[in-house]
Structure 1
Amino acid sequence: MSQDQGLAKLLEQVLNQILEAQLTDQLGAGRYERTEERKGYRNGSYPRQLTTRVGRLALRVPRTRDGEFSTELFQRYQRSEQALVLALMEMVVNGVSTRKITQITEELCGTSFSKSTVSSLCKGLDPMIQNWNQRSLHEHVYPFVLVDAIYTKVREDGRVRS
């Protein structure tokens, strides 16, 4: 087992133990434990793949009968580590192409993100960029204004033009 695989297995075991401990804390009772303080009942678990910097982790997320259990480790439909997603977004902001990002993530993490996945992740950046572009410049006095431009080709009305 390589060093990265060993670290991934260790992290996987630790996260599974944390999930179990969170459920025990939420229910107020451990497995097969009968107490007066019990707030619900376990109902098995479901598998969840989580892509991280050390590789893909196979987690067992516990369930409750009422479906109320949620964890702070990741969001409900999150499939990738948040730091990894933010790194992907930063690469896009810095002008790295989606194909290059796919190659980089495959080399670093052992798993690749499709071009469409990278594009959909970065759609969340569009409102922030639009707000920044449309902010008012009249609020401050600027002694110097530096203007920078980039020359790109865009697809418009089915044609590519400068």
Structure 2
Amino acid sequence: MPAAPSAVLAHPAPSPAESAAFMLAKLQYHADAWDVAEDLRAGLADIVVIDTRAEALYAAGHVPGALSLPHRRMDAASTAGLDRTKTYVTYCDGIGCNGSTKGAYKLAALGFSVKEMLGGLDFWRRDGHPLATGSAPGSMRDAQLLECGCA
């Protein structure tokens, strides 16, 4: 009896060079919660994390160190005080929410360097990272990170 054709290989894999270029492009657009947490804990000043959700959701729990800037209010006036030399990392609730994508789009259209945090607050919590509450950003500086499962 002949073997069934491969569903995976019905569309052949790209060349190694094509795969490398594609994966690099993905990394240029996205960051994961673990990498964001490590940079925030280290106090790196090159990134600014933006919570694109409504202010009430931000106050209920957000990434420590993140600024609240709901995507619906992003425009030239609301972003005038942002430093254009930084890279902004947007997030929202998770994969079922596109607020981080809308925020990243708006920031990029306004001339800011931007990445989107994969999985949003959902993946942040799944990784075991702490939340800050209230209207103040809080800090990750003294947070203890668990062991990364994908290292």
Task: State whether TM-score is above 0.5.
Answer: no
TM-score normalised by the chain length of structure 1: 0.24
TM-score normalised by the chain length of structure 2: 0.25
Name the structure where helix makes up a greater proportion of residues: 1
The structure whose RCO (Cα within 8 Å, separation 6+) is larger is: 2
